[in-house]
Structure 1
Amino acid sequence: MIQKNIAIRDAENRDISSIMELICLKAEFDGCAESVQTTPEKLKDDLFGQKPLAFVLVAEIDRNLVGFATYHFTYSTFLAKPCIWLDDLYIKTEYRSKGIGEGLIQNLCKIAQLKGCGRIDWTVAAQNERGIKFYQRIGAKIIQKARLCRLDIEAISQNSYQ
């Protein structure tokens, strides 16, 4: 059940400082606070510039941002359809279990339907049991046989043709 006074909307340029705060809280929750390298200026360019690289849904209560979902579009050659990659979903601790996460996911699903997406994908930390239960409750399938692979900036540089 979604809390009555919650509003979920597309982020706007005026939300940058609150989005920055939520990113830092998410990184702290994930145990990697030191990995945040973004700046408000970079977010402004990447989220609200001529060609946005990602999009943000925000959840607010009484005009205070209490959660967010960041996402971007991908493409599945198997489905021959666009898809959504949910990058971050975070709700401030004191606002959890109030339907806010569900509201963000519902809005993301509406976007996926409007864009003709074949699926929404994301990762969840293996130790995030509360998150896993939430995702299973909303119908997500937790795929155990896949593993996240990542090339960081150093590996990209080492593997690029010069």
Structure 2
Amino acid sequence: MHIRFAKEQDVTQLFELMKELAIFEHYIDSFAITPEIVLQSGFRKNPPDFHSLVADDNGTIAGMLVYYFLPYTAQNRPNIYMKELYVSEAYRGQGVGEKLMYALHEVAQQHGCSQIKWTVAPWNEGGLRFYQRLGAHENRDWLNYEWNVK
């Protein structure tokens, strides 16, 4: 298993994992991403809207981690926001997610980031246990708000 930055050639498999994640997290009905959007937004736009790491098992993308930078913070250091972490069901329990997270940690160090931030659904008990095993902690200092724009 090799962790690397995603390439344009990975778009089809990356999209499929994004779709699987939308099913897993119960938002497939509002999922509006297409392979073309992934290609344009993640690989052909400069700067890209997102970055991604993949777990490559001899050409099969076993897992993905999608993130973007939050360049302006009160600490005058960037942060990383992890938007998506997903490991294909066939590869779960093999350390793929952990390898992706540690690769992201390395990216954060290389860019002088002070934190990696993300959200996790409260019903995702496996995800909660996974993040706690890594040493991450729940931040209860802030509440998440959303304001839909029509």
CA apart distance, 1:150:
2.0
CA apart distance, 1:141:
0.7
Partner of 1:48: 43
Partner of 1:68: 64
Aligned mates of 2:122, 2:109 — CA distance in 1? 29
Partner of 2:9: 14
Match for residue 124 of structure 2 among 122, 128, 149: 128
Alignment RMSD: 1.2
1:104 equivalenced with 2:63 (yes/no)? no
Aligned mates of 1:145, 1:81 — CA distance in 2? 20
Give the TM-score normalised by the residue count of structure 1.
0.87
Larger Rg: 1
Aligned mates of 1:39, 1:153 — CA distance in 2? 21
Amino acid corresponding to residue 12 of structure 2 in structure 1: S
Aligned mates of 1:146, 1:60 — CA distance in 2? 36
Q: Structure 1: which 5+ residue stretches go unaligned?
A: 1-5, 155-162
Aligned mates of 1:51, 1:76 — CA distance in 2? 16
Partner of 2:53: 57
More divergent stretch after superposition (145-154 vs 28-37): 145-154
Q: Structure 2: which 5+ residue stretches go unaligned?
A: none
> In 1, are the aligned partners of 2:3 and 2:56 still within 8 Å (CA)?
yes
Amino acid corresponding to residue 88 of structure 1 in structure 2: E
Give the TM-score normalised by the residue count of structure 2.
0.94
Identity %, equivalent residues? 34
1:146 equivalenced with 2:120 (yes/no)? no
CA apart distance, 1:145:
4.2
Partner of 1:117: 113
Aligned mates of 1:76, 1:143 — CA distance in 2? 20
CA apart distance, 1:44:
1.1
Aligned mates of 2:76, 2:149 — CA distance in 1? 29
Partner of 1:157: none
> In 1, are the aligned partners of 2:73 and 2:79 still within 8 Å (CA)?
no
CA apart distance, 1:70:
0.2
More divergent stretch after superposition (91-100 vs 111-120): 91-100
Partner of 1:90: 86
